[in-house]
Amino acid sequence: MSTTSEWPLELVVADTDPLTAEISSLKLKAADGGPLPAFSGGAHIKFRVDLTDGAKDPVTLPGALRTPTRGERCYSLVNSDDQSGYYEIAVKREAAGAGGSRFMHALRTGEHVRAALPTNDFPLHDEPHEAVLMAGGIGITPILSMAKELSAKGAPYRLHYAARSPETMAYRTGISHLRGEQASLYFDYGDPARGMPLAEVIGQPAPNRHLYVCGPRPLIDAVVATARAQQWSAGHVHFELFGAPTPQAGNRPCRVVLQRSGLTLDVPAEKSILDAMIDAGLDPMFDCRRGECSVCAVRVLSGTPEHHDYALSDDDRDHEHLMCVCVSRAREGELVLDA
């Protein structure tokens, strides 16, 4: 059972605003009218949500007819430039999701919701530097917060923001004053060839340049690969993925032998090795589920893994023979893992 200590913030919806057909912003204030904890650009806040087909939460939102299924969802805080007593987030409604975004979209002015304290796993680099900010779709939320913080400091940056069309681009009007030298907008209208020119945008590395990108996994993969090809240091490339990764189009079923556990798992294409281990009754260590943290990394004893993580170095993969089981799979045949 969740407790107040897990969700110390009781927030009330002060305002909602549809930004696009799928994305709405919410402004939230402290239910008791008090001040809210401060945060920095790139920070997010975790909400307790109800995943029961949009049913109201009987604890947080009185009037429910049935007990909800609890869950949690994280959303980036946008208003780093104006922390005068409210938090602003933007939520994209995911029709095929588990229900968290539907719950958030169903919130109305005056309704209450529980949240954890702000956390920043995607902060700006501490030292003065030139920032290249890149966003795709709803990934604009932490990137825009960073841009606002950098603007307030008078620090140099460029913002590059891509969406399918102007109608699907959240905060497009608000970003208009950054157009010109500091902001560039890109619309591909469904044709990737018309999208953001990554090599040109990323440019050449320099000791005082840092790259920040947030958006869907294909954008993150392409940016990281392009930066690596242009000899950027991994420590100067910062990114944040939204949500757990979806199965890759080329995923195939694979067989995994867990040597220490004495188990053999047949893992379907739509399931991760990590989830298969959990379903088999094991208790593996993991955290992000996105291949960013390497907490779930295990040693490969035989077989060839297909790596999809962002956390492991070439030495980790080639000499330590590690793989992140939350996102990586077998390239072909069978894997034997030290697990």
Q: Give the CATH number, domain containing residue 82.
A: 2.40.30.10
pLDDT of residue 294: 87
Q: What DSSP line would sit under 211-253, residue for residue?
A: EEEEE-HHHHHHHHHHHHHTT--GGGEEEEE-SSPPPPTT---
Partners of 26 in the β-ladder: 16, 89
CA angle 190, 194, 198 (to 5 degrees): 115
pLDDT at residue 53 in the model: 54
Tokens of 254: 């694979």
Residues 90 and 160 in one domain: no
* Full pLDDT tens readout for the chain, 339 residues: 345 788 999 999 999 999 999 999 999 999 999 999 999 999 999 999 987 654 444 344 444 444 557 788 999 999 999 998 999 999 999 876 677 899 999 999 999 999 999 999 999 999 999 999 999 999 999 999 999 999 999 999 999 999 999 999 999 988 877 666 789 999 999 888 888 999 999 999 999 999 999 998 889 989 999 999 999 998 999 998 765 555 666 688 999 999 999 999 999 998 999 999 999 999 999 887 888 888 999 999 999 999 988 888 888 999 999 999 999 999 888 999 999
Q: Are residue 312 and residue 272 in the same domain, yes or no? A: yes
d(CA 211, CA 189): 25
* Same domain flag for 329 and 264: yes
Q: Is position 61 within any domain?
A: yes
Helices marked H in the chain:
100-106, 140-153, 172-175, 198-202, 217-229, 273-279, 314-318
Name the one residue in this structure whose structure tokens are 């990554």: 198
Q: What is the DSSP letter of 124?
A: P
147 and 97 in one domain?
no
14 and 38 share a domain? yes
- Residue 177 sits in a domain of what CATH number? 3.40.50.80
Domain with 264, as residue range(s), is 254-337
Cα(288)–Cα(141) distance, integer angstroms: 19
Q: What is the pLDDT of residue 247?
A: 60
Query: Do 222 and 153 reside in the same domain of the chain?
Result: yes
Per-residue pLDDT of 203-258, as tens digits, reads 999 999 999 999 988 899 899 999 999 999 989 999 987 655 556 666 889 999 99
If one counts the domains in the chain, the total is 3
Q: Which residues of 180-208 are buried (b: 16+ CB within 10 A; e: fewer)?
A: eebbbbebeeeeeeebbebeebbeeeeee
Measured distance CA(218)–CA(222) in Å, rounded: 6
Would you call 235 helix, strand, or coil by DSSP? helix
133 neighbors 143 (Cβ within 8 angstroms): yes
The amino acid that residue 292 corresponds to is E
Q: Indicate the residue type of 264.
A: T
The answer to whether 198 and 226 have CB atoms below 8 angstroms apart is: yes
The residues with which 60 forms a beta bridge, in sequence order, are none
DSSP conformation class of 119: B
Query: Are 154 and 72 within one domain?
Result: no
Nearest to 259 by CA among 198, 182, 336: 336
